[in-house]
Structure 1
Amino acid sequence: MSLKKLKSIYTQFDKTNELISYKVLSSGHINDTYLIENNKNTKYVLQQINHGVFKDVPGLISNKVKISKHLQNKLNHLSEKELKRKVLCFVPTIKQKYYHLDAHGNYWNMMIYINDCITYETVPSEQVAYEGGKLIGEFLNLTGDFDANKLIEVIPKFHDMSYRFSQFQDSLKIASKERLEKAERYINLVWNLKDEMHIIQNLKESGAIKIRVTHNDTKISNVLFDTNNKGLCVIDTDTIMPGVVHYDFGDSIRTICNTAAEDEKDLNKVTFNMNYYKAYEKGFLEKVNLELSPVAIKYLPLGAKTMIFIMALRFLTDFLNDDIYYKTTYPDHNLDRSKNQFKLIESFTEQYPEMETK
């Protein structure tokens, strides 16, 4: 993306000041995101939403803005400066919309950049795991009274296990012989885990666990920390929609408790860190425990295993589909991501009895 192009987009949000510099923010598999600075030394995050993945981008942005305004109202005791660091603040266009549709059919939104913060791809300490648990727990606690029916389903059937298995089966029919051979071991693992991996969905469909506002992408890199490693702000809210708490708990655990990066090729480095699990769970339950039923709490560990599995399955399916969804940087990137998650499941399963204490 050229500076000239970004300047033209920026003027749709601000005609008074001039964009003078930018850099690409590489975090995330889906959208194109830029840190920009104007001539008043003010920084923003300017993002192009992938409308190939997200079919209703105006609805997606409406979800994000509704939840951000709800959080701002819940935290109105904070100063304006503090609030802008604790909650994503979206900037309207000069037409008073929260997105701009450019001449090429691309959707853009802009938010205030949060300075002096830290993100992690992997967790360095139990303190960070604990603070991450508190922040996600607080996010769910503060959105617990928001009517999830007011949100669109950004990606229909996003965590629907039956749907993900259907996608997987379709990919088996069209995958090349070479890719099927490379993935054979992991294809067999999928079938072995099928029944167990439907338990959370069955509980949701039966009404045994509550449908509510969920973030749906709570990997640790979507949590901002301040310079003292205190939880600051939950970011990347594109996938906010109705769901169950187990998805958010599980996806956090998936990234927080992996001792290696999500695409680490050396599987000997991939293990499940039980100390981080316990630290995260402690922080998480401090914030949401009163909202959760005994049934919901009982199945939190299975929620973690399920989310690790669903990411393994999605990476594997995309590999079999010739990498049409996630950004990749080399031919077997999605397969390596899937292998990584299956190795994490193996390590998780070995320690599972320690988690089933409630």
Structure 2
Amino acid sequence: MQTERLKFIFGQFDHTSEFDGFEELASGHINDTYLIKTKTKPYYVLQRINHGVFPDVPGLIENKVAISQHIKEKLQHLSPKKQKRRILKFFKTNTGASYFRGDEGNYWNLMGFIDKSVTHMTVPNEDVAYQGGRLLGQFLTLTNDFDAATLTEVIPNFHDMPFRYRQFEEALAKADKARVEKAKPYINLVHNSREEMHILQNLKESGEIKMRVTHNDTKISNVLFNKKEKGLCLIDLDTVMPGIVHYDFGDAIRTSCNTAAEDETNLDLVEFNLDYYNAFTKGFLKNMGDSLTPIELKYLPLGAKTMIFIIGLRFLTDYLNGDIYFKTKYDDHNLNRAKNQFKLLQSLSEKLGV
């Protein structure tokens, strides 16, 4: 049943390949993604976008297509072979649309599969950290002249600090007393951090930091490498939307420089990896340095600090709300995630002096 369904959907797109099978790619947590194998290469990636999570799926897909087309125009100097490995290619449907919507209401898009490529779930060494920084810097540089205001805001208020604080205060007001007591040190930390954690928001709103195209999901698993560990391109453009450079830099640092898993309960194991930070930043500035304003450059470390804080705040808020957003495996799972992020925040502050 699944095979015939995917074969039918694949057939709705404009290509010349013959369906031969599929393999589920299980790296994402929101969408369903399949590797479509054909009689002869190239292979394809077929993705169902979760319209329960994203309020405007057509806008999301149009964002991806527009950004990939913009990058293609910027990289016209590369050979066709290199372009295939450095640029995400999206296929239109047989009717010329950017997506196919099935009878069940699901939205599907199709892109080319980049063969002989690898991804990493965590950063294994400084070279990979450097390449991750280089690719993010390149992405932001290539899209620097794209009008971010034309993009759909696929997740409204995603990194909006006043919005996240309002969510926290509302959760705290109605939270279970036992949970409030357990979380009290971290609740106090959030209250005491309010002024500092609004610095970037205020600079953005005043226009002192420009709005750019941002990726908004810059974990290392969204960087594609070749077999020799050289970075090829960023993948998973679902959350591309307007933002500031500190969001992308900060979230990449948050996910790349934690010495432990995000829900590690032994906080002695949670440290900020300064070597990975330095390697990532070096790669990032190699491609991005000339595009940054002095004020953007000045606040990059605060970007890392802010993004660690905001995910810690979201975990804490969900804990106070009774675990209604993030999936949990036990009662205090979200609290332990919050503790983990706030320990990472402390370690970053000590090692970077911010």
Does the TM-score normalized on the shorter chain lie above 0.5? yes
Q: Do residues 305 (structure 1) and 305 (structure 2) align?
A: yes
2:97 corresponding residue in structure 1: 97
1:257-336 aligned within 5 A? 257-328=257-328, 332-336=332-336
Report the secondary structure of 1:61's partner residue.
Answer: helix
Measured against aligned partners, the alpha-carbon deviations of 1:25-51 in whole angstroms (never above 9, x if no partner) come to 222332222222123344222211121
> Any idea what SS the aligned residue of 2:109 has?
strand
Q: CA deviation at 1:243?
A: 0.9
Residue 152 of structure 1, CA deviation: 1.6
- Between 1:69-78 and 1:173-182, the stretch displaced more is 173-182
Question: What does the per-residue CA deviation read over 1:236-261, in whole Å, with 9 as the maximum and x for residues that have no partner?
Answer: 11111111111111111111111123
Q: How far is 1:159 from its partner? A: 1.0
RMSD: 2.2
1:330 positional shift: 5.5
Aligned amino acid, residue 308 of structure 2: I
Q: One-letter code of the match for 2:170? A: D
Task: Kindly state the Cα deviation for residue 62 of structure 1 after the two structures are TM-superposed.
Answer: 0.6
Separation in 1, partners of 2:329, 2:8: 29
- 1:127 — aligned with what? 127
Task: Please identify, of 222-231 and 174-183, the stretch whose mean Cα deviation from structure 2 is larger.
Answer: 174-183
In structure 1, what is the Cα distance between the partners aligned to 2:25 and 2:324? 21
Q: How does 1:205-244 map to 2 (within 5 A)?
A: 205-244=205-244
Cα gap change, 1:320 to 1:35, in 2 (>3 Å): farther
CA contact (8 A) 2:14 2:91 kept: no
The match for 2:249 is: 249
Letter in 2 for 1:189: L
CA deviation string 1:247-287 (max 9, x = no partner):
11111111111112333343332210111111111111111
Task: Supply the AA of the counterpart residue of 2:291.
Answer: E
Query: Which letter does structure 2 place at the counterpart of 1:190?
Result: V
Q: Once the 2 structures are TM-superposed, how far is the Cα of residue 89 of structure 1 from its aligned partner?
A: 1.1
Which residue does the alignment assign to 2:151?
A: 151
How far has the Cα of 1:116 moved from its partner?
A: 1.7
Q: State, as a whole percentage, how many aligned pairs show the same letter.
A: 61
Q: State the secondary structure of the residue aligned to 1:21.
A: strand
Q: Is the 8 A contact 1:30 1:326 kept in 2?
A: no
Cα shift at 1:178: 5.5
Gaps of 5+ in 2: none
- Residue 17 of structure 1 and its aligned partner are, at CA, apart by 4.5
Name 1:352's counterpart in structure 2. Answer: 352
Greater Cα shift, 34-43 or 172-181: 172-181
**Displacement of 1:333 after TM fit?**
4.4
Code of the aligned partner of 1:314: R
What is the SS of the residue equivalent to 1:53? coil
- Letter of the structure 2 residue corresponding to residue 292 of structure 1: L
In structure 2, C-alpha distance between the alignment counterparts of 1:184 and 1:338, rounded to whole Å: 12
SS of equivalent residue, structure 1 residue 23: strand
Cα gap change, 1:236 to 1:162, in 2 (>3 Å): same
Q: Cα distance, 1:14 vs. partner?
A: 5.5
- 1:47-196 → structure 2 map (5 Å cutoff): 47-177=47-177, 179-196=179-196
CA shift in 2, pair 1:265/1:120, >3 Å = farther
Distance of 2:33 and 2:225 partners within structure 1: 20
Gap regions ≥5 residues in structure 1: none
Please give the alpha-carbon distance, in whole angstroms, between the structure 1 residues aligned to 2:19 and 2:323.
34
State the SS of the aligned residue for 1:137: helix
Structure 1 contact 312–339 (Cα < 8 Å) conserved: yes
- 1:156 and 1:101 map into 2 onto residues whose CA distance is 23
**C-alpha spacing 1:325/1:93, structure 2 compared with 1 (3 Å):** farther
Mapped to 2, the partners of 1:103 and 1:266 lie a distance apart of 48
Shift, 1:77, TM fit? 1.3
Give the 3-state SS of the residue equivalent to 1:144 in structure 2. Answer: coil
Deviation at 1:143, TM superposition (A): 0.5
Residues 319 and 259 of structure 1: is their aligned pair in 2 closer, same or farther, counting only changes over 3 Å?
A: same
Q: CA deviation at 1:327?
A: 4.7
How far did 1:60 drift? 0.8
Go from structure 1 to structure 2 and tell me whether the alpha carbon gap of 1:30 and 1:214 turns closer, same or farther (over 3 Å shift).
Answer: same
- Count of matched residue pairs: 354
**TM-score calculated relative to the size of structure 2:** 0.92
What one-letter code is carried by the residue in structure 2 that aligns with 1:305? K
Indicate the residue corresponding to 1:337 in structure 2: 337
> In the alignment, residue 34 of structure 1 is paired with which amino acid?
Y
The 2-side partners of 1:73 and 1:245 are apart by 22
